[in-house]
Amino acid sequence: MRITFWGVRGSIPSPGPTTAHFGGNTSCVEVRAGKAIIIFDGGTGMRLLGQKLLKELPIEADVFFSHVHWDHIQGFPFFAPAFVQGNVIRLWGGNNVSRTLEEALAGQMDYPSFPVHLSQMGAKMTFNDLYEGQVLEIDAGDGSKVTLKNARGNHPNGVWAYRLEHGGKSIVFATDTEHYAIVDPKLQALCKDADVLIYDAQYTPEEYAGQAGTGGPKAGWGHSTFEEGVKLAKAAGVRKLVLFHHDPNQSDDAVREKERRARALMSDCLAAYEGLTLEL
């Protein structure tokens, strides 16, 4: 499998000279498993992914949304392959919100917010609601199967974490989830012996606690820290931890320092940046 990061920020895009290294686009991760194209989240990084995929048409892809907060769906209206006839895009999301996934994606494209409606996109798209514990199998196009599992995380309005398995390797995508006083047992089970854990490390412990100069406490906001990510990774026997969903107020230097502190606790750890590719 090959993992490519197209958007690694959280909450709101944060372009500018102080974020140029790690990038300012919001959540979007591409996984290639065999010939299968699997996408986690449709944040603003999805636009960049779409430009690359235009060179591979026609495409067939599965998009799994962690949830439908804006920073995880705002790239979808700019995902160029969705406008091209002959492409097949299956979209998946949890059934834990007041509106369906289709209604949420269409809603951000309704007048007066956007000039082109979802119904005007040319690709064949199907919308699928997931339930907790559901196991999916996706054809990898080479005679093998990709297995997709899920678990609920801890985030306002709900969130879904995903585990992808193929060829004896495993990836967990667990963003926008807040830690508990103990390691989250659902996430620990989902992450057991995973090769890669992509985890919400939006805050430093100091930012989360609201210590002086950090804008007040963040408890209940639905995000976590690099320290809690390390605790989860170690409890679950994860091999590599990828810090994800960087706070928009964190400069490149601040993310580097967060990465340095995390590596002092777990050596095989790095902060995600746009363009990062991991081969399994």
| Domain extent listing, the chain | 2-279
Lowest pLDDT segment from 80-84, 98-102, 138-142: 98-102
Question: Does residue 213 carry a pLDDT above 90?
Answer: no
Percent of the chain exceeding pLDDT 70 equals 99
pLDDT at 29 (0 to 100): 98
Are the C-beta atoms of residues 78 and 105 closer than 8 Å to each other?
no
Residue 265, pLDDT above cutoff 80: yes
Instruction: Give the bridge partners for 70, in sequence order.
Output: none
Measuring CA to CA, how many Å separate 74 from each of 13, 139, 141? 10, 28, 29
For the chain, what percent of residues have pLDDT higher than 90?
A: 94
Tell me what pLDDT residue 92 has.
Answer: 96
Q: What is the C-alpha to C-alpha distance for residues 42 and 154, in angstroms, rounded to an integer?
A: 20
Q: Write down the pLDDT at residue 98.
A: 63
* Whether the predicted pLDDT of 116 surpasses 70: yes
- Dump pLDDT digits (tens) for 128-181: 999 999 999 999 999 999 999 999 999 998 999 999 999 999 999 999 999 999
N-to-C CA span, the chain: 5
Instruction: Say how many C-beta atoms besides its own lie within 10 A of residue 188's C-beta.
Output: 18
Q: Which of 121, 54, 136 is nearest to 82 (CA)?
A: 121
Q: Is the pLDDT of residue 97 over 70?
A: no
Question: What is residue 264's three-state secondary structure?
Answer: helix
Q: What is the number of helices (H) and of strands (E) in the chain?
A: 6, 14
Q: What is the mean pLDDT of the chain?
A: 96
User: Three-state SS string across 83-135, please?
Assistant: HCCCCEEEEEEECCCCCCHHHHHHHCCCCCCCCCCHHHCCCEEEEEEECCCCC
In the chain the beta strands, taken as DSSP E runs, fall at 2-7, 28-33, 36-40, 60-64, 88-94, 124-130, 136-139, 145-152, 160-166, 169-174, 196-200, 240-244, 269-271, 277-279
Residue 46 tokens read as 């999805």
What is the model's pLDDT at position 27? Answer: 98
- Residues with Cβ within 8 Å of 180's Cβ and at least 6 positions away in sequence, in order, are 154
With a cut of 80, say whether residue 212 has pLDDT above it. Answer: no
Q: What is the pLDDT of residues 6-55, one digit of tens each?
A: 999 999 999 999 999 999 999 999 999 999 999 999 999 999 999 999 99
Q: Tell me the mean pLDDT in the region 47-64.
A: 98
Q: What is the average per-residue pLDDT within 199-220?
A: 93
The angle formed by the CA atoms of residues 147, 224 and 146, to the nearest 5 degrees, is 5
- Identify whether 205 is preceded by a cis peptide bond (ω within 30 of 0): no
Of 145, 178, 225, the C-alpha closest to 67 is 178
Six-digit token pair at 197?
Answer: 């854990």
| Structure tokens given for 246 | 């960087």
CA-CA distances (angstroms) from residue 186 to 40, 162, 163, 168, 233?
Answer: 19, 11, 12, 22, 13
- CA–CA separation, 243 vs 226, rounded Å? 7
pLDDT confidence of residue 96:
58
Q: Which fold has domain 2-279?
A: Metallo-beta-lactamase; Chain A (3.60.15)
